Amino acid sequence: MRDFPSCFGENGVQVADSSSSSAAKASQNLVTCVYQCKLQGRSRLITVTWTKNLMGQGLGVSIDDLCKVDIKPWLFSKRKGSKNLDVDSGKVDICWDLSNARFGSGPEPVEGFYLAVAFDREMVLLLGDLKKEAYKKTGIKTPLDSDAVFIARREHIFGKKFYGAKAQFCDKGLIHDVVIECNTVDLKDPHLVIRIDSKTVMQVKRLKWKFRGNHTILVDGLPVQVFWDVHNWLFGNATGNSVFMFQTCVSSEKSRTGQSAFDPSVLTWSCSQKLRDHQVQGLGFSLILYAWKQE
């Protein structure tokens, strides 16, 4: 299998110098989420990036090539605010309030917050549980749920043998525990095991010969294609990262015929139209995990 590019701007799985400890530390508290929304009837991609470091919480929001807003951690002391931007096709309002937000182990807020993106007085993306406060802040009088669809997520996970994350593979579906087990230390024949909610759904033996590949599993009755690249762990820097991608495919016919609905060689972050085209072709949600070894 060819190297599959991530859909978040890297040129491929093997990222130059990505195995350095400085790169690991920089990425340790960074989560990127992508939502497909409609602005004036046109499909757009909104990217939300959550960060956390010693300076505090950070937040970034971008809408395709229309606009981009970065709230740096050192400017985030009040944890609330708004940005109003004029773009060629209209006006974008971005409002957030994390002053009472509660966080888990990562940089994303869990509850007690809102992040709202409005376009020409219409709510296009609303995250968080403080919806009333968001509508009041934006001045939008008609509370309507946005039709935004969560289509992709990238995060960095860390471990020695076990690497865990949570994922919701379909809209309003269950939140699952994803655990990747891979012990490449002092083993003549390392193997890879992936579990969903403690149930083994995939196992790869002879990993030195199958350090890149893909396999289809079933989650919530939907086929999910799993792509992996553990070359760095086996043949590169011992503290380097490996990459795993979980791609849902709502086209059961393609799954039954053994044909992949996903061509990883063409899906790049810069090609947003191709990403939207892949959604039309029957692809749902993408989860990309960068797994870093900790000594």
Q: What is the CA radius of gyration of the chain?
A: 20
pLDDT of residue 38: 85
The pLDDT tens digits of the residues spanning 105-152 come to 788 999 999 999 999 888 999 999 999 999 999 888 777 667 888 889
The amino acid that residue 72 corresponds to is K
| 48 neighbors 35 (Cβ within 8 angstroms) | yes
| 150 neighbors 172 (Cβ within 8 angstroms) | no
Name the band, by pLDDT with cuts 50, 70 and 90, for residue 237.
low
| 42 neighbors 36 (Cβ within 8 angstroms) | no
The amino acid that residue 194 corresponds to is I
Sheet holding 42-53, edge to edge: 67-71, 56-63, 42-53, 30-39, 149-159, 283-293, 241-249, 222-229, 212-219
Mean pLDDT of the chain: 78
Q: Could you tell me which of 11, 30, 120 has the C-alpha nearest to residue 70?
A: 30
- 205 pLDDT exceeds 80? yes
Residue corresponding to tokens 């508290």: 29
pLDDT of residue 266: 32
Residue ranges per domain, the chain?
21-26+156-293, 40-147
Which tokens hold the place of 135? 């509508």
Which residues have CB under 8 Å from 52's CB, separation 6+?
29, 30, 58, 73, 103, 106, 107
Distance CA(198)–CA(206), nearest Å, equals: 23
Q: Which residues are paired to 203 by β-bridges?
A: 193
Distance CA(232)–CA(212), nearest Å, equals: 11
Name the band, by pLDDT with cuts 50, 70 and 90, for residue 27.
low
Distance CA(276)–CA(7), nearest Å, equals: 12
pLDDT of residue 24: 53
Name the band, by pLDDT with cuts 50, 70 and 90, for residue 61.
very high
- 258 pLDDT exceeds 80? no
The amino acid that residue 225 corresponds to is Q
The amino acid that residue 3 corresponds to is D
Name the band, by pLDDT with cuts 50, 70 and 90, for residue 174.
confident
- 79 pLDDT exceeds 90? no
Written as one string, the DSSP assignment of 1-21 is: -PPPPPTTS-SSSS-TTTTSH
Distance CA(131)–CA(82), nearest Å, equals: 15
| 5 neighbors 12 (Cβ within 8 angstroms) | yes
Q: Could you tell me which of 20, 19, 22, 44 has the C-alpha nearest to residue 34?
A: 44
CB atoms within 10 A of CB 235: 11
pLDDT of residue 178: 95
pLDDT of residue 253: 42
pLDDT of residue 23: 56
* Distances from the Cα of 186 to the Cα of 19, 181, 182, 190, 231, angstroms: 20, 15, 12, 9, 16
